[in-house]
Structure 1
């Protein structure tokens, strides 16, 4: 007999459960609430049933204190109503684990299952039900449990992929219609949008994405509208992917694994999303042991993982499952995807978080992890950390360089304290005196992308963590470049000198650079700066471009940016001294409006650009 042939509104629980058993409860938006209610209503004689599950979006009645004699909560990922309270009060437990490892816990008797309580769609003409919007670890539970008990819900979408369960795998069931819980896109705020913009700048055309749900993921997706040929290999998706798929931005064409398909384990969102995945042949749902496998994730070239955190310390350790001693969520799939992206050819592992708590009183970039906090992702895994103040590149960085990178993206009001704190434990040279400063005149996100000869470069402020990169840039110059820039053949760029050059008070002086990114970080391609001359309310300009990139417009672009910032800062003029035989540089200045001035040195040409009119002091328009 099939589920279509028989209507059932109750399960004979005594045939399947006894006191002390362990049951699995369906995940995310597929919690079989009617089944749970039926178990509670017919639980006479049962007690101490252990419930195992990950995130469950429901009332989670089994976790209420009134049912503490019947159920004991064991959550593999904390979330949903009443779960966190049960764990905090000792009525429940939290078992940390990687989502990719959960099937092994079920199969190898670490957490053997007596029954799996799941929600499925009605069977098709061939007798197959779909696990719908939540395949994840439900699939493994179905295979491992002694008994499978299902709630057949006609409102459950039929999703494609490895999402099907035949009715002969189901030992008992009830028919119960249930609306799926809806999670709507949150309202954006300015700092979340800035984080989204910065993260989007790390995503190249053709990348494959893993992304979650919440403000930051939605902000990232919002700023991907101009990207091309993106793919999805993600534990989950939310509403934000719908428009990008309809526009063809996400088309999965350049994926190197599951080419042409968006691959996920579950989805959470509005009814619009549930309708979108229903029967959609372009989205396939697979079990967590497949999608979350770091080895399989790494089969996608240019894999980008985007995850969040509660706090990140100055060495790059990521805390994301607890606030001090209070367990808050779980390890989930973060490490699976961070590791997979790190192993991917051209991959990037990104942690994105606001720089402070909501009230702005506490920095989330910290000198040391809060007591009781647990490291989920190690300091060796993460390539990039992003806040609303920028991108910190950590891969290949020393502890000192990491600290300076992370201080740069901390909230400005905490930077000096973080620099002082880091000195207590890690070596920072005495000549590293100031914490990083910003250049707000660059815009809401203090980075800009430019394309020269079909290659993307990033314009940003030079920062203290660039000390080694500046040394490498210096030693890449030939003798002619050094003479043109320094007027003599300088042969050494000491660590101290390099540190002084990158430790810029960007509020008075200005130092910008063009960088080129790759999977291991970035390298400096050009540097431009002006030194503020207070007596003249002027800035003295100088810059140098990598020899192989000259003639492509980098110098003119850098000069244009410096002129624009100088005008905003109401400088009266910009000045420069250029060797007379440096014809190409003279042309760059003169095209920007600089005028030659009398010079006492025959070998040099003095130039000046007046920014304000003598009569009014108003900034001129150029």
Structure 2
């Protein structure tokens, strides 16, 4: 019998599609890299008598011939996730439908007969000695379609990997089959550009040792994985996996030892990548495939401590609303598992839901950080769900932030050429006060990633630029000071740090002046622990420096680290000398400066000092830089 013949399993005789399928029926087509293309081609070639067959599927790596205009009277596409040749065009032209839904909830559409299935058309591996076939690289919603369709028709493909987990169906669940070998479609490993690499570095900074990861597909997830090579004891609980995990698993970086759900196993619902990936998962006992109803359940996701969810977006507005499935009125992809994992990670102890995207479109002409959503765009992830937004310009932390604070955080990670316009737009709506005039500026001397990690007394800190979004954090830092600190820093007992004053102090032109801070993150968020700044004096190419350390953090080396960083940057900027005014009774600060080579000098005319008014008890110290 020809391998391209449709065979009824029970009697091993040829069977025709018309024997169990009729016009108006609904069929499910296998997902992602497990599209039964030979089987679908056979159906299309024998579909002359059919009208209005509804095809239901998520992403399909295929030519999607059934969605071509030539077959629009025979097949009507209902995409639960948009992608692939012909499908996106069919939806844009009104020949096909898009049904938005969470990947975790698609199975209930089949189970509750909201979308009853007449036939599930799938691809499986050949049966083993026990009669079980594997769904292979795509268990996701295929398993639910198999359980709920009236008829299951399978392409038995020897090239389909046999994957472990809940990926098996018995041959007696299959009504008819076709034996047809074909290679699985491959997705090449993407080449990374500078922007993507930058995003990958920032996201990797949010991943702690022992975390469990959810990653999508494309440049950004691959970039993140490349920068996790020095991490330890990572786990994976992800809707999908790609080639990027292979080397990390082989090196033991991903070992799943610290997972608190499915410990010891990489858990996924489907995979897409190269043949290397398909060979890697074939029979691999360390990688298990489960239905999306299980993997994408926010409750199950949250059972992993320190769950890190990394997803992308088409645009993010300044309140934190995320558009991920449409470009204006044009539907582009789908909800998929983004909300499932964003929600699950937010519920996870120590979890971090992250949205990562380039700051602009590929041509750099359009900002992806926008003052308001493009007309026609729909929100996939709400402003209440988003904790982190990452671009190549940094990390915006939105959790617990007001609209004003969110806007300033997101402007900070927008492309510099769009920041002024974004600030102007939000000020028009009174989200940001009128005295907030300056947009964030960078400190390129800190490197491409404007963060540096430090450890003081076995506690982790980050050195970064102070920015306009730090207004409230600087207020909190000020009100933590005791009277002695205020006298040392301001030479009088200042009792108030208004929003306007704090805003002025964090709105720094970092290209001229410099303001750095040490921050520390805990379950309460990020706290400023130290601030160092200098003000440039163009008259004699000098700068005046000052800093303050939280009382509980003194004596650990933060002042010295801040001063060293400021000296290095000042030298790179060819500034001639650095000046500091220090109270004579501030012995510890004298020591910090003199240790770095500062020498006492006669007091210059500095009554217009930006840091301290010159008083009798001040000593002026100077360091010649260049």
SS in 2 for 1:265: strand
| Whole-angstrom CA distance in 2 between matches of 1:268 and 1:469 | 43
1:607 to 2:611 alignment: no
| Whole-angstrom CA distance in 1 between matches of 2:503 and 2:455 | 29
SS in 2 for 1:305: strand
Does the CA contact (< 8 Å) of 1:8 and 1:174 recur in 2?
no
* Alignment-derived partner of residue 244 in structure 1: 248
Among 374, 391, 396, the residue aligned to 2:395: 391
* Alignment-derived partner of residue 132 in structure 2: 128
Does the CA contact (< 8 Å) of 1:347 and 1:519 recur in 2?
no
Residue 334 of structure 1: how far off its partner (Å): 0.3
* Alignment-derived partner of residue 213 in structure 2: 209
* Alignment-derived partner of residue 185 in structure 1: 189
1:106 to 2:110 alignment: yes
SS in 2 for 1:523: strand
| Whole-angstrom CA distance in 2 between matches of 1:10 and 1:441 | 72
1:591 to 2:595 alignment: yes
Tell me which moved more, 474-483 or 557-566.
474-483
Among 493, 496, 503, the residue aligned to 1:492: 496
Among 311, 316, 323, the residue aligned to 2:315: 311
Residue 588 of structure 1: how far off its partner (Å): 1.4
* Alignment-derived partner of residue 224 in structure 1: 228
Among 202, 223, 235, the residue aligned to 1:198: 202
Among 65, 71, 75, the residue aligned to 1:71: 75
Does the CA contact (< 8 Å) of 2:188 and 2:274 recur in 1?
yes
* Alignment-derived partner of residue 166 in structure 2: 162
Q: Which runs of 5+ in 2 are unaligned?
A: 1-6, 605-614
The number of equivalent residue pairs is: 610
Superposition pairs for residues 88-103 of structure 1, below 5 Å?
A: 88-103=92-107
| CA deviation profile, 1:480-539 (whole Å, cap 9, x unmatched) | 222222222222111111111111111111101111123553111111100111112111
Tell me which moved more, 588-597 or 52-61.
588-597
| Whole-angstrom CA distance in 2 between matches of 1:367 and 1:334 | 22
Does the CA contact (< 8 Å) of 1:9 and 1:176 recur in 2?
no
Among 194, 214, 237, the residue aligned to 1:233: 237
* Alignment-derived partner of residue 253 in structure 1: 257
Residue 248 of structure 1: how far off its partner (Å): 0.9
| CA deviation profile, 1:318-370 (whole Å, cap 9, x unmatched) | 00100000000000000000011111111111101111111111111000000
Residue 549 of structure 1: how far off its partner (Å): 1.6
Among 58, 61, 79, the residue aligned to 1:57: 61
Q: Which runs of 5+ in 1 are unaligned?
A: 613-622
| Whole-angstrom CA distance in 2 between matches of 1:586 and 1:184 | 59
Relative to 1, partners in 2 of residues 1:267 and 1:10: Cα closer, same or farther, differing over 3 Å? farther
| CA deviation profile, 1:409-429 (whole Å, cap 9, x unmatched) | 111111111011112223321
SS in 1 for 2:207: coil
With structure 2 as the length reference, what TM-score do the two structures score?
A: 0.95
Does the CA contact (< 8 Å) of 2:8 and 2:176 recur in 1?
no
Does the CA contact (< 8 Å) of 2:241 and 2:268 recur in 1?
yes
* Alignment-derived partner of residue 360 in structure 2: 356
Superposition pairs for residues 342-381 of structure 1, below 5 Å?
A: 342-381=346-385
Does the CA contact (< 8 Å) of 1:54 and 1:75 recur in 2?
yes
SS in 2 for 1:123: coil
Residue 589 of structure 1: how far off its partner (Å): 1.3
SS in 2 for 1:493: coil
SS in 1 for 2:31: coil
Does the CA contact (< 8 Å) of 2:28 and 2:145 recur in 1?
yes
Relative to 1, partners in 2 of residues 1:143 and 1:116: Cα closer, same or farther, differing over 3 Å? same
| Whole-angstrom CA distance in 1 between matches of 2:245 and 2:555 | 40
SS in 1 for 2:563: helix
Does the CA contact (< 8 Å) of 1:10 and 1:38 recur in 2?
no
* Alignment-derived partner of residue 432 in structure 2: 428
Does the CA contact (< 8 Å) of 1:404 and 1:464 recur in 2?
yes
* Alignment-derived partner of residue 173 in structure 1: 177
| Whole-angstrom CA distance in 2 between matches of 1:290 and 1:243 | 26
Tell me which moved more, 425-434 or 307-316.
425-434
| CA deviation profile, 1:32-78 (whole Å, cap 9, x unmatched) | 00110111122242121000000000111111111111100000000
Tell me which moved more, 585-594 or 92-101.
585-594
| Whole-angstrom CA distance in 2 between matches of 1:537 and 1:297 | 56
With structure 1 as the length reference, what TM-score do the two structures score?
A: 0.96
Relative to 1, partners in 2 of residues 1:519 and 1:52: Cα closer, same or farther, differing over 3 Å? farther
SS in 2 for 1:483: helix
